């Protein structure tokens, strides 16, 4: 497997990052450990989790921690083989201090994550969501404390726009605080609202590690027109995790056209989708979860596939980029 440089960290990570959001339910501990070990044996050295992950039992304000606990058990004796990302900021209880990016919550959340993960340090720690109530410099100062203590190596942001990343970079440079080195955003053929932020990340050497790249299985060829939903699929078990996409006639028209393009490239839809996403600017590693190791094997195959150069325009027609502002001097 080829490895990609993770922003300015100097770390080399696999183009596939194992996501752990399903750990707990439907993926029990024993199966999750097998998936982690199997993914590592396939060459995956990058694993993503968060302090709120607990599979389908997760709800707003639930304590979470299950995903981190399982991952910690899976990595006993193998910690040095992987780069681990976790996140803070989402609610982990009903109290007003049990969420957000205040120094109090950040320091407590990271200590709790380290305990659950059974680790001395976190490679990359991400703020899960923007916190409108906390000044960014407060969060960055808390991260600086954690970096100085050796508990966190690098800082990043999840679900932040280019404008929000720009503010973090500006404050970090002005005050000599840790800069964001990773941006984790939802991004797929179907979800391209952050598309025009990718060039900003290229220009500022921020690694983009998107999630939802296969859109809950929609972009893998799993679902077919006039057929029942597959058992144990995201659409049948947790349809809200399809990120608002509906399996209607218009969707099937696009999915069937995509499948034709994949066949022309002699790739499965999973391979085609993974290869297309990795070919986009700044994208370094795709955060993809699974309920079975076989799914990871299919995804890994896509990491070494290539999309024909003349396929990018047809994909853009099927799944248009968001609105582009006219450049009155140079044109579009």
Helix (H, G, I), strand (E, B) or coil at 141: helix
Q: Is residue 332 part of a domain?
A: no
Pairwise CA distance, residues 47 & 275, whole Å = 19
Structurally, how many domains does the chain consist of?
1
Find the helix or strand (DSSP H, E) in which 40 lies: helix 29-41
Residue 161 backbone phi and psi in degrees, to 5: -80, 170
Q: What is the pLDDT of residue 223?
A: 86
Over residues 68-77, mean pLDDT: 98
Cα of 323 vs its chain's centroid, Å: 24
Q: Is residue 326 part of a domain?
A: no
Pairwise CA distance, residues 54 & 35, whole Å = 16
Q: Is residue 331 part of a domain?
A: no
Q: Which of 15-24, 30-39, 218-227, 321-330 has the lowest mean pLDDT?
A: 321-330
pLDDT at residue 244 is higher than 80: no
Pairwise CA distance, residues 188 & 287, whole Å = 11
pLDDT-based confidence at residue 183 (cuts at 50, 70, 90): very high
Q: What is the pLDDT of residue 198?
A: 98
Q: Is residue 186 part of a domain?
A: yes
Per-residue tokens: 217: 């299985």
Q: Is residue 122 part of a domain?
A: yes
Q: What is the pLDDT of residue 233?
A: 58
pLDDT-based confidence at residue 243 (cuts at 50, 70, 90): low
Q: Is residue 329 part of a domain?
A: no
Judge whether 97 and 61 are in contact, CB under 8 Å. Answer: no
Measured over all CA atoms, what is the biggest interatomic distance in the chain, rounded to whole angstroms? 59
- Residues found in the chain: 332
Domain extent at residue 125: 4-318
Judge whether 130 and 158 are in contact, CB under 8 Å. Answer: no
Residue 32 maps to which CATH number?
Answer: 3.20.20.100
Q: Is residue 222 part of a domain?
A: yes
Q: Is residue 176 part of a domain?
A: yes
Residues 6+ apart with CB under 8 A from 240: none
Q: What is the pLDDT of residue 67?
A: 98
Pairwise CA distance, residues 319 & 90, whole Å = 30
pLDDT at residue 71 is higher than 60: yes
Q: What is the pLDDT of residue 229?
A: 73
List the one residue out of 35, 32, 96, 93 whose CA is nearest residue 68.
Answer: 32
List the one residue out of 15, 9, 23, 53 whose CA is nearest residue 209.
Answer: 15
Pairwise CA distance, residues 48 & 20, whole Å = 6
pLDDT in tens, 22-48: 999 999 999 999 999 999 999 999 999
Q: What is the pLDDT of residue 225?
A: 85
Q: What is the pLDDT of residue 49?
A: 98
Per-residue tokens: 190: 């179907």
Whole-model pTM: value is 0.94
Q: Are strands 83-88 and 4-5 parallel, antiparallel or unpaired?
A: unpaired
Concatenated DSSP letters for 80-95?
GG-EEEEEE-S--SSS
């Amino acid at each position: 497997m080829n490895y990609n440089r993770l922003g300015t960290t100097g770390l080399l990570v696999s183009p596939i990052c194992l996501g752990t959001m399903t750990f707990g339910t439907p993926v029990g501990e024993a199966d999750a450990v097998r998936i982690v070990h199997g993914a590592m044996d396939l060459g995956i050295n990058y694993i993503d989790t968060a302090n709120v992950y607990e599979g389908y039992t997760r709800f707003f304000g639930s304590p979470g921690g299950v995903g981190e606990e399982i991952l910690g058990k899976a990595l006993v004796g193998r910690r040095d083989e992987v780069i681990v990302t976790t996140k803070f900021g989402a609610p982990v209880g009903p109290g007003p201090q049990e969420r957000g990016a205040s120094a109090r919550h950040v320091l407590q959340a990271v200590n709790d994550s380290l305990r659950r993960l059974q680790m001395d340090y976190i490679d990359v720690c991400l703020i899960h969501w923007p916190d409108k109530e906390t000044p960014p410099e407060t969060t960055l100062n808390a991260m600086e404390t954690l970096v100085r203590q050796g508990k966190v190596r690098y800082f990043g942001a999840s679900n932040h726009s280019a404008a929000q990343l720009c503010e973090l970079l500006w404050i970090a440079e002005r005050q000599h605080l840790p800069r964001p080195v990773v941006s984790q955003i939802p991004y797929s053929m179907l979800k391209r609202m952050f598309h025009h932020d990718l060039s900003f990340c290229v220009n500022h050497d921020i690694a983009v590690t998107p999630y939802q790249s296969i859109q809950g299985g929609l972009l893998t060829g799993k679902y077919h027109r006039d057929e029942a939903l597959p058992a144990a699929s995201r659409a049948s078990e947790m349809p809200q995790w399809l990120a608002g996409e509906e399996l209607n006639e218009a969707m099937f028209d696009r999915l069937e056209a995509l499948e034709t393009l994949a066949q022309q490239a002699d790739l499965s839809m999973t391979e085609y989708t993974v290869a297309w996403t990795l070919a986009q600017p700044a994208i370094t590693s795709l955060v993809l979860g699974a309920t079975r190791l076989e799914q990871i094997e299919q995804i890994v195959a896509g990491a070494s596939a290539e999309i024909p150069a003349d396929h990018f325009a047809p994909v853009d027609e099927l799944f248009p980029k968001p609105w582009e502002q006219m450049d009155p001097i140079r044109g579009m």
